[in-house]
Amino acid sequence: MNPVEGFKETFGTSPLIAASAPGRVNLIGEHTDYNGGAVLPAALQRRVQVALSRNDTNQIVIKSSRFNDTVERPVGDPKRGDWTDYAVGALDKAAALGWLAGGVNLFIESDVPDGAGVSSSAALITAILRAAARIGEVTTTPVAIAQYARAVENDYIGMPCGIMDQMAVGLADYGKALALDTSDLSYKVIEIPSDWGFAVIHSGVRRELADGRYKARFEECQQASEILKTNELCRLDQTQIEALARLPENLCKRTRHVMTEHKRTLAAIDAMKVGDLDAFAALMNESHRSYSQDFEASTPVIDDLVNDALSIGAKAARLTGGGFGGCIVTLIERDRLDAFVAELLDRHENAWRV
Ligand code: GLA
C-alpha cells in the first residue's frame, strides 16, 4: 500500500509529508564500524516508507500496514521494548533538535524484514528524521541525519551500534555500495558492476534475540581497545600488535578479526572499483571464516547455508550484519543468480530470499 493512501485510510486526512529509506546489506566489513575501520554496505531495493502529520494532542499515534492495531504513546515516552520504540525514539530526537515537536500521526509501510540484520530499524529512524527535517524546514545533510539516527539507537534504544547502517540507508541507492571510512566518515558511492549478482538469503533464524550477543562482542572490543590504549582497534601500530599476544585469547581473536576485516574491506573496495569478481569473492569468503572463527558470531545454521551456497556454485557466501542469525549474502555471476538461488532454497526449506 502507498503510505499516503494508508495514512488517509487510518487518519481520515492527507499527511503533511512522506519520506522513505532503503534497507541495506553489508557486503564486507563486519564490526569494524565502531572500531575505526572500513565498511562496504549496499542498499536494498526494499524500503521503509512513512507518512506523517502533526496532530493537536500530546500523543504519537502509530499505524503500520503490517499490524492491525494502532498504537498510541505519549510524546517523550521512555523505551518500552517493542518496535514502536524506533518511531518514538526518532520523534524524540526530532523534537530535541527543534524540527518537530508535539503529537504526531504516523503511518508506516515497509517491505524491509525486521529481525533479519538488514537494517529495518535504521531505515525507519532515517525515514522519520528525513520527514521531520522537511516539516521543520531545516537545512541538514545526510551525514548529520545518520549521526542523529545512530544516536537514537545508542541513547534511546540502548544498542551500542556503529554508524554503518545509518550511513548506508542515508547515502546509498539500490545498485550502489557505500565505501565508508568510519574513522572520519569519508565515503564514496560505488556502482556495483552490472554483471555481478548478489542475493541476500534469510536463514529462517531471526536475530532480534542476538542484541545481547552483539553487545557482548562490542564490549570485548572495548576491553581490547582499553588495554591497547586505542580508539581504533582496526588500526594498531607495531607496538600494539606485539602487545596483542598478552591479551586474553577471546580479546586477541576479536581484535584479529576487526584488524584483518578492515584490510579485507579496503582490498574489496579496490576489487569492486575495477570489477574483479574473483578477488572480491575470495575476500568475502575469508571474511566469513574470520567472522565465524575469530569473532565467533556465526551459527551452525548459517555455516551450513554458507557451505551449501558455495558447494552449488556461489563464488562467495558469508554471514552479513550484526551476527548470530539473520541473513547470508552470496555473490555469483548475474546470469546464474536466479537458478542458483532456486537451488539453494530448494535445499533449505526455512530459508527465503530477501
Ligand atoms: C549491526 C550494527 C552495525 C555494525 C554491524 C556489524 O548492523 O548496527 O553498526 O556494527 O552490526 O558489522
* The residue type at 88: V
Residue 146 has pLDDT above 80, yes or no: yes
pLDDT band at 251; cut points 50, 70, 90:
very high
Q: Ligand 1: which of 27, 30, 33, 319 to mutate, most ligand atoms within 8 Å of CB? A: 33
Question: Given 167, 191, 215, which residue is the final one in a domain?
Answer: 191
Ligand 1 center from residue 162 Cα (angstroms): 6
Does one domain contain both 105 and 240? no
Does one domain contain both 183 and 245? no
The ligand 1 site (C-beta within 6 Å) comprises: 26, 30-31, 33-34, 161-162, 164-165, 321-322
Residue 205 grid cell: 533464524
Does one domain contain both 175 and 210? no
pLDDT of the residue at 115 = 83
- Tens of pLDDT along 13-30? 999 999 999 999 999 999
Does one domain contain both 161 and 230? no
Ligand 1: nearest atom to the Cα of 161: 9
Ligand 1 center from residue 166 Cα (angstroms): 10
Residue 208 has pLDDT above 80, yes or no: no
Range 313-323 average pLDDT: 97
Ligand 1 center from residue 120 Cα (angstroms): 12
Does one domain contain both 182 and 42? yes
Does one domain contain both 211 and 348? yes
Ligand 1 center from residue 126 Cα (angstroms): 16
Does one domain contain both 238 and 154? no
Ligand 1: nearest atom to the Cα of 153: 8
Q: Pick the residue whose CA is nearest to atom 8 on ligand 1.
A: 161
Does one domain contain both 86 and 183? yes
Go through 332-353 and write b for each residue having 16 or more CB atoms within 10 A of its CB, e for each that does not.
beeeebeebbeebeeebeebbe
Distance of alpha carbon 178 from alpha carbon 164, whole angstroms: 9
Q: Pick the residue whose CA is nearest to atom 2 on ligand 1.
A: 161
Distance of alpha carbon 95 from alpha carbon 89, whole angstroms: 10
Closest CA to 122 of 81, 163, 92: 163
pLDDT of the residue at 68 = 87
Taking phi first (over 0 means left), then psi (-120 to 50 degrees means alpha), and beta for anything else, what does residue 193 get?
beta
pTM of the model: 0.96
Does one domain contain both 181 and 247? no
pLDDT of the residue at 206 = 78
Domain that holds residue 14: 3-191
Radius of gyration, alpha carbons of the chain: 20
Question: Given 166, 191, 216, which residue is the final one in a domain?
Answer: 191
Ligand 1: nearest atom to the Cα of 26: 12
- Tens of pLDDT along 52-67? 999 999 999 999 999 8
* The residue type at 170: G
Ligand 1: nearest atom to the Cα of 32: 12
Distance of alpha carbon 272 from alpha carbon 41, whole angstroms: 12
278 included as an active-site residue: no
Does one domain contain both 187 and 200? no
Query: Annotated catalytic residue: which of 33, 85, 114, 165?
Result: 165
Distance of alpha carbon 23 from alpha carbon 20, whole angstroms: 10
What total of structural domains would you count in the chain? 2
Question: Given 191, 217, 248, which residue is the final one in a domain?
Answer: 191
Does one domain contain both 113 and 73? yes
Ligand 1 center from residue 12 Cα (angstroms): 38
